[in-house]
Amino acid sequence: MSYSSAFSQTYKDHEIKAAFIINFGKFIEWPASSLADNRFVIGILGPDYFKGTMQIMVRNKRIGSKEVFVINFITTDEIQKCHILFVHPDMISQMDEINKKVGKFPTLIVSNYNNFCVLGGMINLIKKPNGYGFEINKKLAEGKGLKLSSWLLRLARVIE
Amino acid sequence: MFVNLNDISIKYKMMFIILFIFIVTGIFTTAVMVTYDIHASKQKMEVDLRFLAETISTNSWGALSFFNPQDAEESLKLLAANTDIVEGRIYDKDLKLFAYYTRDDNKVPDQVSEMRIERSVVNFDDEYLVASEPINYDNEFLGVVSIVSDMKSIDERINKYFEIIAIVSSLTLAFVIVLSLFMQKIITKPILQLAKTATQISKDGNYSIRIEDNRKDEVGVLVKEFNNMISHVQITNNHLKASKELAEESMLVKEQFLANMSHEIRTPLNGIMGLSDVLINSKMNAEQTGYLNAIKSSSYSLLVIINDILDISKLEAGKLVFEETEFNLEKSIDSVIGILDFKLINKSVMLTKELDENLPINVIGDSVRLNQILLNLVGNAIKFTEQGKITVGVVVLSKSDDKVELEMYVEDTGIGIADEQKQKVFESFTQAKSSTTRKYGGTGLGLTIVKNLVEMHGGIIKLESEEGKGSKFTFNLAYKVPEESKVRREVLDVAPAQRNLENVRILAVEDNPINQMLVKKVLSDWKADFEIVGDGKKAVESMEMNDYDIVLMDIQMPIMDGYTASTHIRKMAAPKNEVPIIALTAHVTSTERDKCLSFGMSDYISKPFKPADLYNKIVENLDENQKSI
C-alpha cells in the first residue's frame, strides 16, 4: 500500500523539501553556545529554492524553545551565522567559499544535489521512488559538534 | 412427572442437598472468578495497548516528520508480536491515513477503526479494544496512532477457564457423590437402626429393649425420646397385662362362684321339688295335694329366678351354647301352658294357643331355650294381666324342605306398656316403672334374657303395646326341619306310667341323703335294678365287683369325687370301661359340662332334674352304648 502519492498530491516538492529542512532542526542538537541568542536561523543561499514557502512555514513555529528565522543569502558573501544553510544546487561549485564563510560555527549545510555529501555537504535531499529521503555525512556533521538523533539516522542513508 | 419429596429417601435428599450446595457454590465462585478474570485481563490488555500505542507514537516521529510511511509501517510491524492486535493505523497531522498494519487481513468494522485524536482506550461491544494516542514531537502535533485489539485471547482464556472448571467440577462432583454416600450414612444409619429396633420391638413385643446411643445431635434426641416412649409403653403394657390378668382372674372367680351358688341352691331345691313329687304321688287328701302343689310351684319359681340370674351372667359373658336336638314344637308350647296354668287359678284369664296349620310337627333346635323364652313371655303376660286372655301363637313365615322360619307371639290384655318405656323394658333389671316392681315383683331380667336369646338365634323381638289395653311381643326364629323319614324318639313322650327300666342295671353315686332318696324313688318307680353308693371310691369298688348297664355319677362328693371315679372306671378292662356315665351335677356352666366329658363321662344332666329328663337321658345313653357295641 502506498500513501506517498497522497502526499505528493497534497504538497508540492518544494514544500516537502522545506518541511524536511525545518524538521532537521528538530532532530539535530546544536551546541548550546550556538543558541545563546535564542534564535534559530535557517539560511537559504542563492535564489529562493522554496519560493517563499519556507518563510510561511516557520511562522509561529519553534524549534525547541527557539524562534525560527529564515534569511535569504543571494551570494556567499552575504552568508551570516545560521544553524542550517541550504545551498542552492547552482551554488555547489562555491562550496569552498561557503565553508570558509561559515567557519567554525556549527552550521548544518544542506542541499539537493547529486553526491553533495561527497562534495563536503552534510545532508543531501534525494528523490526516492515514493517521495523524498536524505543522505547524511555523519562524520562531517558530528565533526562540527552536531548531535544527530537516532530517529534521523534511522531514516537517512549515511555517507562515510 | 411430579415426585412427592416426602417419598424420596433421606439418602438421596442428603445427596441432593450436598450436590445442590456444591453446584450453587461452584457456579457462584466460577462466576465471580470469571468476572474478575475478564476484568483483570481487559485491564492488562488496556495497559499493554496503551504502552504499545505510546511506543509506536515515539517510533513514528521521524517517519511522520520526513514523510516516510515505509518507516512508519516498519514501526507498526512491532504489533505483530502481540497476537491480540488485529489492526494498527498511523494518521498524519492532516488526519489522513499514513501507515497501516493488519493481521491476517482481519476485517475490523469501520466504526471500530474510526479515528480518535484524544488519548483513549475504547471498548467496543466487548469484542474490540481500541487504543488511540496522539503523536506529538517538540510541541508539534504530528498525527495519531490507533491500535485495535480483539478479545479473542480473553474469550479463549475464558473458554479454557470453563474447560478447566468443567474438569475440576466433574472430578469434585464424583468425589462429592462418593463422600455424600458415606456422609449420609452418618445420619441415615442411626435412623434405620431406630426403625429396625422399632420393628423388633413390635414383632417380639419385648418392650425392655432400649437403643444404646449416646449421641447428642437431633438423632440422639429422637433416640432418647424413642427410648422414653418405649419405657412408657412398657409401663402401660405391664399395667394392662396386670389388669387383664386381674380381670381374667376375677372372671374365673365369678364363674366359680356362680357354679358353687348354683350347686348350693339347686341341691336343696332338688330335694324340695323331688320329694314334693314323691308326696304328690303318694296317697294324700286334696288339701295336702294342694299344699304340695304350692310348694312345688314356689320351688319352681325360685328355680326360674336362679336360672335367670345364671343365664344373664352367661349371656353377658357370651358363653351360652345352643343345642340342636329334635323336638315337638306344639308339645313345647303345651308344656309351657301346662307349667304356668296353675298361676291362672285366681284370675279370670284364658290362656290359649293359636298354631299355623302348616307348622311342622318336629323341628331341630334348642327346645330348652325356646321354653325359656316362652316361659318368660307368658309368665310376664300372666303377671300383668288380671282379666281377658293370653294367646301364644305361631305363624309360619316361610318353609322349605329343611328349614322353617316362624313368627311367634305372646299377646295379652294386660296393663300394657307406655311408649317411652317400650325400649327400656328389654334392659337388665328394668321394669316399666319402679312401682311395677313393688306391685308385681320379679327380677327384671326376664325380657333381657328373652331379647338376648332371640337375637342369638338370629331373630328380632318386637313389642306392640297400648297402655291399659295390652301388649304383644312378637319374635321370629328359624329352625331346621328333620327329614320326614326320621323316626321321632317316642321315648321323649313316654308318659310317667309307661316309663320302664326293667332289667336295666344302674349304679347311682350320690352323697346327699335327700337326693339318694329321690333317686331311689324314681328308679324304683321305673323298676330298674339299681344300687346307690355314697362316694366315688365305693362306686369304683362296686364297678369292679358287679356289672352295670349305666352309671349316674354325682360330681362333688367326699372321699373321691365324680371326676376321679370316672377316670378309674374308664381305665377298667372292657366292657366295664365302656359303661355310659351320666354326670349329675349342680354345676351348670358349659365349662363344667366340658370338664365332665373330658374326664370320660358320656353325658350330663343338671340337678335338680325332672324325672322325665333323667329317664330320657338314661334311655338315650343305653341306646348309644348298644349302637357303639
A20–B66 CB contact, under 8 Å: yes
Q: Is the pLDDT of residue A4 over 60?
A: no
Alpha helices in chain A (DSSP H): 4-10, 13-27, 53-57, 95-102, 138-143, 150-155
B138–A7 CB contact, under 8 Å: no
A23–B70 CB contact, under 8 Å: no
CATH architecture of A3-145: 3-Layer(aba) Sandwich (3.40)
Q: In whole angstroms, how far apart are CA B413 and each of B334, B350, B355, B605?
A: 20, 10, 19, 38
| Cβ contacts of B446 within 8 Å, gap of 6 or more | B308, B376, B379, B380
Q: How far apart are CA B531 and CA B505, in angstroms?
A: 8
Q: What is the pLDDT of residues B326-365, one digit of tens each?
A: 888 888 888 788 777 777 877 888 888 988 888 888 888 8
pLDDT of residue B488: 37
Q: How far apart are CA B130 and CA B357, in angstroms?
A: 126
Residue B530 CB coordination number (10 Å): 20
| Cβ contacts of B3 within 8 Å, gap of 6 or more | none
pLDDT of residue B281: 74
A20–B97 CB contact, under 8 Å: no
**B68 reaches A (C-beta below 8 A):** yes
In B192-229, which positions are buried (b, 16+ CB within 10 angstroms) versus exposed (e)?
Answer: eebeebeeebeeeeebeeebebeeeeebeebbeebbee
pLDDT of residue B486: 40
3-state SS class at B64: helix
Q: Which of A1, A23, A155 sits opposite B71 (nearest CB)?
A: A155
**B141 reaches A (C-beta below 8 A):** no
Amino acid (one-letter) located at B272: I
Q: Which three cell numbers stand for residue B29?
A: 465462585
Which of B57, B67, B95, B135 has the most A C-beta neighbours within 10 Å, making it the best mutation to test the interface with A?
B67
| Cβ contacts of B208 within 8 Å, gap of 6 or more | B234
**B137 reaches A (C-beta below 8 A):** yes
A3–B97 CB contact, under 8 Å: yes
3-state SS class at B571: coil
Q: How far apart are CA B215 and CA B195, in angstroms?
A: 17
CA dihedral B380, B384, B387, B388 (to 10 degrees): -50
A19–B67 CB contact, under 8 Å: yes
Q: How far apart are CA B317 and CA B449, in angstroms?
A: 13
pLDDT of residue B268: 82
DSSP state of B573: P
Q: Which of A7, A27, A154 sits opposite B71 (nearest CB)?
A: A154
A16–B139 CB contact, under 8 Å: no
Please give the sequence-ordered ranges of beta strands (E in DSSP) within B106-215, or none if there are none: 120-124, 128-137, 140-150
Q: Which of B65, B94, B99 sits opposite A23 (nearest CB)?
A: B65
Closest Cα of chain A to B77: distance in Å?
14
C-beta separation of B354 from B436 below 8 A: no
Amino acid (one-letter) located at B181: L
DSSP state of A105: S
CA dihedral B76, B80, B84, B85 (to 10 degrees): 20
Closest Cα of chain B to A93: distance in Å?
28
The number of C-beta contacts closer than 8 angstroms across A and B is 52
Q: How far apart are CA B572 and CA B581, in angstroms?
A: 13
Q: What is the CA radius of gyration of chain A?
A: 15
CB-CB neighbors (< 8 A) of A152 in chain B: 62
C-beta separation of B150 from B127 below 8 A: yes
Q: Which of B67, B69, B138 sits opposite A16 (nearest CB)?
A: B67
CB-CB neighbors (< 8 A) of A2 in chain B: 69
Q: How far apart are CA B196 and CA B226, in angstroms?
A: 12
Q: In whole angstroms, how far apart are CA B165 and each of A119, B73, B201?
A: 73, 42, 51
Q: State the first-to-last Cα distance of chain A, in angstroms, to the nearest integer.
A: 32
Which of A59, A63, A151 has the most B C-beta neighbours within 10 Å, making it the best mutation to test the interface with B?
A151
DSSP state of A77: G
pLDDT of residue B537: 92
B98–A27 CB contact, under 8 Å: no
Closest Cα of chain A to B65: distance in Å?
6
What is the helix (H) or strand (E) element at residue B443, kind and residue range? none
**B97 reaches A (C-beta below 8 A):** yes
Q: Which three cell numbers stand for residue A156?
A: 537517512
B100–A27 CB contact, under 8 Å: no
Q: How far apart are CA B8 and CA A17, in angstroms?
A: 91
pLDDT of residue B76: 92
pLDDT of residue A2: 40
B66–A63 CB contact, under 8 Å: no
Hey, where are the domains in chain A?
3-145
Instruction: Tell whether the torsion through CA atoms of A50, A54, A57 and A62 is positive or negative.
Output: positive
B69–A132 CB contact, under 8 Å: no
| Degrees, nearest 5: CA angle A105-A117-A47 | 70
Q: Which of A4, A133, A154 sits opposite B69 (nearest CB)?
A: A4
CB-CB neighbors (< 8 A) of A16 in chain B: 67
3-state SS class at B536: helix
CB-CB neighbors (< 8 A) of B97 in chain A: 3
**B96 reaches A (C-beta below 8 A):** yes
Regarding pTM above 0.80, the answer is no
Closest chain A CA to residue B101: A1
A2–B69 CB contact, under 8 Å: yes
B62–A154 CB contact, under 8 Å: yes
Q: Which three cell numbers stand for residue A88?
A: 542552492
C-beta separation of B476 from B459 below 8 A: yes
Closest Cα of chain B to A2: distance in Å?
8
Q: What is the pLDDT of residues B483-516, one digit of tens each?
A: 753 433 444 445 555 677 888 899 999 988 888 8
Q: Is the pLDDT of residue A91 over 50?
A: yes
C-beta separation of B62 from B68 below 8 A: yes
Closest chain B CA to residue A3: B98
Residue from B591, B586, B604, B584 nearest B319 by CA: B591
| Predicted confidence band of residue A83 (pLDDT cuts 50, 70, 90) | very high
Q: Which of A10, A130, A151 sits opposite B61 (nearest CB)?
A: A151
Closest chain A CA to residue B62: A151
| Predicted confidence band of residue A124 (pLDDT cuts 50, 70, 90) | very high
C-beta separation of B618 from B583 below 8 A: no
Q: Which of residues 169-188 of B touch A (CB under 8 A)?
A: none
CB-CB neighbors (< 8 A) of B65 in chain A: 19, 23, 26-27, 151
**B124 reaches A (C-beta below 8 A):** no
Task: Please list the ranges in chain B whose pLDDT falls under 50.
Answer: 485-493, 629
CB-CB neighbors (< 8 A) of B57 in chain A: none
Alpha helices in B7-147 (DSSP H): 10-59, 61-65, 69-76, 110-113
pLDDT of residue B218: 81
pLDDT of residue B589: 64
CB-CB neighbors (< 8 A) of A127 in chain B: none
pLDDT of residue B565: 92
Residue B262 CB coordination number (10 Å): 22
| Cβ contacts of A133 within 8 Å, gap of 6 or more | A125, A126, A155, A156, A157, B66, B68
B99–A3 CB contact, under 8 Å: yes
B98–A3 CB contact, under 8 Å: yes
